[in-house]
Structure 1
Amino acid sequence: MQDLVFLKKTVIYQTELITGLVVVLFIFRRFVVTCFSHDTQVIYIAAFILTVQFFHLSLRQVQGF
């Protein structure tokens, strides 16, 4: 039961994170694209942020938080 609650919280957290990231990248897209030469670099940045968050959540799950 506790695992199910943790899973729900993880899904909600990831959904909020992805939504927030998409909104921020959409709002600041023109600025980010001018700083970086191509749209693909923006995608790489977003993928890196999501990967770090995934490993952070995995570590929290192992530690029992």
Structure 2
Amino acid sequence: RALDAAGATCDVVASGGIVTPQDARVFLDLGAVAVQVGSALLHDPTTAARLAAALSTDEVAP
């Protein structure tokens, strides 16, 4: 939002602390064009698939 208010024209990819679909949804709702998942994949290799499936239904509430 701050970038929009300043008239910036860059895309933001959110990274850090994204473990659940709700985490991702918060960043996307704030204007990120994508989210990056890292450490969560080390704990559960199915994280990316779960996030993608949940977000594709558009039923994830923050």
Q: Do these two structures clear the TM 0.5 threshold for a shared fold by scoring above it?
A: no
| TM range, smaller chain | 0.3 to 0.5
Structure richer in strand, relative to its length:
2
Question: Relative contact order: is structure 1 or structure 2 higher (C-alpha 8 Å, sep ≥ 6)?
Answer: 2
Tell me the TM-score normalised to structure 1 length. Answer: 0.32
Structure richer in helix, relative to its length:
1
Tell me the TM-score normalised to structure 2 length. Answer: 0.33
